[in-house]
Structure 1
Amino acid sequence: MTDAPLLDVENLWVRFRTRSGVFDAVRGVSFTLGKERLGIVGESGSGKSMTGRAILRLIRPPGMIEADKLEMHGEDILSAPESRMRQLRGGRVSMIMQDPKFSLNPVMTVGQQLVEALRAHEKVSRGEARRRALAMLDEVAIRDPERVYELYPHEVSGGMGQRIMIAMMLLPSPEILIADEPTSALDVSVQLQVLDIIDKLVRDRGMGLMFISHDLNLVAKFCDRIVIMYAGRIVETCKADELRNARHPYTLGLLNSVPDLEHPRERLEVLKRDPEWREAPSVSARQ
């Protein structure tokens, strides 16, 4: 961690107005992110992805974002005008979505999309943008970048599509990368390749990584710190190598529900829903 965090979030709430009242999707979340790999873990609906989208201010009405502090390198991004947010998104902070099929434009070639992503944030010629795009495709371990550059999204595999998304998000050299379950749609062997690429790029560029996942074991091996979310709140935070010392019943339930091939059990533990967890005070992941 550096003295000045890349990202500082304090008491973040994401609310949606509905016919039956206001629903709180994210409830008082606080954390900081430095030049590290921060894992955000929780089941579906726990508020992980909503937190990532709120940081980029991608929550649209009837959604509302509230926070005591939402700063990137000391800059207040909660009150920043939309014109400034367009500069920050992709420029200083990028987000890799879960499935490239829904993130890549089906009527534009891979090369066109890479060039567009770069030129949206930097004043470079098309020739220079093409050169850097090809170099980035090579950096994410895509064979024959020249050929892939001319392909359309439907002509590439899921693993290659995810690598293209990583290349696109990292072309403008952001300081923060938010990866929203970037490997969940991939098979195991391709998952490891993609994780190796993300790990190398984050380390080489000195970036901060916010890695969102429901796979507790994966995050424990890949990240430096772990934040556990339940029902929109942070219920526990710890260093990755101290996960086995977790104390919150929800974290323990997640750990005990993971299959153990060396010591198989006939039945996996079922998490019992406790309404008190939802009302428990939030835990800060700030340092």
Structure 2
Amino acid sequence: MTSLTPPLLTVENLRVRFPARDGFTEAVRGVSFTVGREKLGIVGESGSGKSMTGRAVLRLVPPPGEVSADRIEFDGMDLSTASERTMRGIRGRRISMVMQDPKFSLNPVMTVGRQIAEAYQVHSGAGRRDARRRALEMLEAVRIRDPERVFDLYPHEVSGGMGQRIMIAMMLIPDPDLLIADEPTSALDVTVQMQVLAIMDELCGRRGMGLVFISHDLNLVASFCDRILIMYAGRVVETCRADELHDAMHPYTRGLLDSLPRLDETRPELPVLDRDPAWIGTGSGR
């Protein structure tokens, strides 16, 4: 997607490393990208650094992990040097993140409605009655039937699909400029998956919000996002428009595409990717 407006988020040379016996292990190795008011997909196999990249932007990498970058600029602010107090004002209110499993992200001893309302109160200073009204509106916005009933349920009383919608409602209630969604549909069946994607697409379009959609599903990202980053071993190896994914040039991207099962052919076994060490130091973009 080409835009004359400046990007919401600019990341340059992002690195995340963890202590190891022989020094450090890098989970993210010099990742750079921009996000505007668009849907950016980040794709790669497990362990490629997708989730850690999203967490590092918000400085949510758990210790003893270390984050460094030449620049993490959001709407003119350098997040890499911002104080923790400044970051607390940005997290949730300006940039929200939907984690992979709502069962572990939601507080098990609070009703889901109270958690959504609390998110609104923290970022807006609203009273309890107004926060409840807004929480019910958000539950309705993510297409949950009978919001009044669901408001008083606990996380263990809702399904995986409903739990994911509740997380989206909680993250969107402060009306953020950017949403980072970390595999929000990976544990859902196809029907619920499509419903969640439709909700996110509608809300992004209506609010003019930027979205970073992290996934391992190439076809899903190609059909949903505007641009795609392909990650391998902590690096971005290829960048392309979503409608150009199937014309990708990098051998790792081609290998991922060739590994997708197809209904129009029978293959006795899936191809094996040769993990060329040279891929770690190379990349291509369009």
TM-score in terms of structure 2 length: 0.97
1:178·1:210 contact (CA, 8 Å) conserved in 2? yes
Letter in 2 for 1:176: L
Alpha-carbon offset, residue 283 of structure 1 = 5.0
- Structure 1, unmatched stretches of 5+, are none
The match for 1:226 among 225, 228, 232 is 228
Cα drift, residue 30 of structure 1: 0.4
Count of equivalent residues: 284
Partner of 2:159: 157
Asked if residue 281 in structure 1 is aligned to residue 276 in structure 2, the reply is no
SS of aligned partner of 1:120 = helix
Residues 70-81 of structure 1 mapped to structure 2, 5 A cutoff: 70-81=72-83
Match of 1:45 in 2: 47
Look up the match of 2:106: 104
SS in 1 for 2:123: coil
| C-alpha deviation, 1:19, in angstroms | 2.4
Stretches of structure 2 that go unaligned for 5 or more consecutive residues are none
Measured in 2, the distance between the counterparts of 1:85 and 1:282 equals 31
Q: Does 1:117 align with 2:119?
A: yes
State how 1:223-262 maps to structure 2 within 5 Å.
Answer: 223-262=225-264
Is 1:128 matched up with 2:140?
no
Q: Which runs of 4+ in 1 moved over 4 A?
A: 282-285
Correspondence for 1:59: 61
Deviations 1:63-88 (A, max 9, x none): 11111110101101111111111110
| Structure 2 match to 1:185 | 187
Which secondary structure state, in structure 1, belongs to the residue aligned with residue 124 of structure 2? coil
Identity %: 67
Task: Tell me how far 1:2 sits from its aligned partner.
Answer: 4.7
CA-to-partner distance for each residue in 1:21-60, whole Å, 9 max, x for gaps? 1111100100000010000000000000000000010013
Is the CA contact (8 Å cut-off) linking 2:240 and 2:285 kept in structure 1? no
AA aligned opposite 1:260: R
Amino acid at match of 2:55: R
Of 4, 8, 12, the residue aligned with 2:6 is 4
**Partners of 2:17 and 2:26 within 8 A in 1:** yes
Aligned-pair distance for 1:61?
2.6
SS of equivalent to 1:268:
coil
The answer as to whether partners of 2:15 and 2:30 remain within 8 angstroms in 1 is: yes
Q: With the length of structure 1 as denominator, give the TM-score of the two structures.
A: 0.97
Does structure 2 conserve the Cα–Cα contact (< 8 Å) formed by 1:37 and 1:209?
Answer: yes
Partner residue in 2 for 1:33: 35
> Which residue identity is paired with 1:266?
P
What's 2:97 paired with? 95
Q: 1:284 to 1:58 in 2, by over 3 A?
A: farther
